[in-house]
Amino acid sequence: MADDKTCEDDSAAYIVNADKQKLYCYTWKPQLEEGQNPKALVFISHGLAEHCGWHATYAEKLAEEGMLVFGHDHVGHGRSEGEPVYIDDIQVYIRDVRQHITEVTADYPDIPLFIVGYSMGGTVALMLGFQEPKLFRGMVMLAPAIMPDANLVPAWKLFFGRMVSYIIPRLPVSKLDPNAMSTDPAVVERYIADPLVWHGYMKGRPTLLLLDAMTHIMSHLADITWPIFFLQGDIDPLCALAGPQAVMDKASSTDKTLKVMKGAYHLVHWEPNGEGTQAVKDIVDWVKERCTP
């Protein structure tokens, strides 16, 4: 996508993870006076098969409000190195996010940190939150993948998939339906035409790892103690509304909000008829309100 903003020079456009893979970085910088610090740091954890460029819609608005927004394409995604959409351990994504955050926060040690997690990126954000519950001032969850859908993955298929994933970990299992991304045909066409999106099959082992992470999240909802905000379409074909509703019911956090977008699909911040624009505003407003203690 042409509307993303990356680091200003090639040497800074990548970080190298613990496996010596180059991860492509994005930074949206606020306009600041000399010596002025950003109001907040916001990390973007993107979803399965896509890349951070799809999150420029709200990243730019956050930067306009004085926040430093940053992220990277997960390994095997977008412009980053790695086998497409393949990992042997979900901790790889979590480890890389922690590394990038550590590098940026070293320059801004006293600035509040937030994370926006979309779809699988929400899974990653929550798993990191469980490991470091004091790391983030708050989390924004956009259509997060946090509850396994028994209709999409019935128990018998999960049972056999678990066995096969250890024998044939790269077995093709399914493709993401681009029509599930948005109710706007123009957005769907843009998604299909994006060469940085993975349009091939998801693979057995990573799919199982994601489902296992979702199961872990659902069994630890009471451990969510930090501020959290959900934006979720009520007819999202990929990530069910029941997931955020379960968090609202069981999370220990006293600052938890769920906004249900009527008639919205998965890319909530790209929905037409002003809905996506309102979603962007909701993201920005929620973070702004929590920049100061």
Enumerate the active-site residues: 119, 236, 266
Bridge partners, 69 (sequence order): 28, 42
Could you tell me where the DSSP H helices lie in the chain? 56-64, 91-105, 120-131, 155-167, 185-193, 204-218, 242-250, 275-289
Q: How far apart are CA 236 and CA 31, in angstroms?
A: 36
Residue type, 278: Q
Q: How far apart are CA 46 and CA 230, in angstroms?
A: 15
- Beta strand pairing call for 14-16 and 22-28: antiparallel
Please calculate the CA angle 290-60-15 and round it to the nearest 5 degrees. Answer: 90
> What are the residues facing 258 on neighbouring strands?
230
Which residues, 6+ apart, have CB-to-CB distance to 109 below 8 Å?
none
Largest CA-CA distance found in the chain, in angstroms, rounded: 60
Tracing tokens 């930074």 back to the chain, one arrives at 27
| Cβ count within 10 A of residue 173 | 18
Strands 22-28 and 68-72: antiparallel
Query: What DSSP string describes 256-278?
Result: EEEEEETT--S-GGG-TTTHHHH
Residue 13 is given by DSSP the state S
With b for 16 or more beta-carbon neighbours within 10 A and e for fewer, the 206-243 pattern comes to bbbbbbebbeebeeebebbebbbbbbbbeebebbbbeb
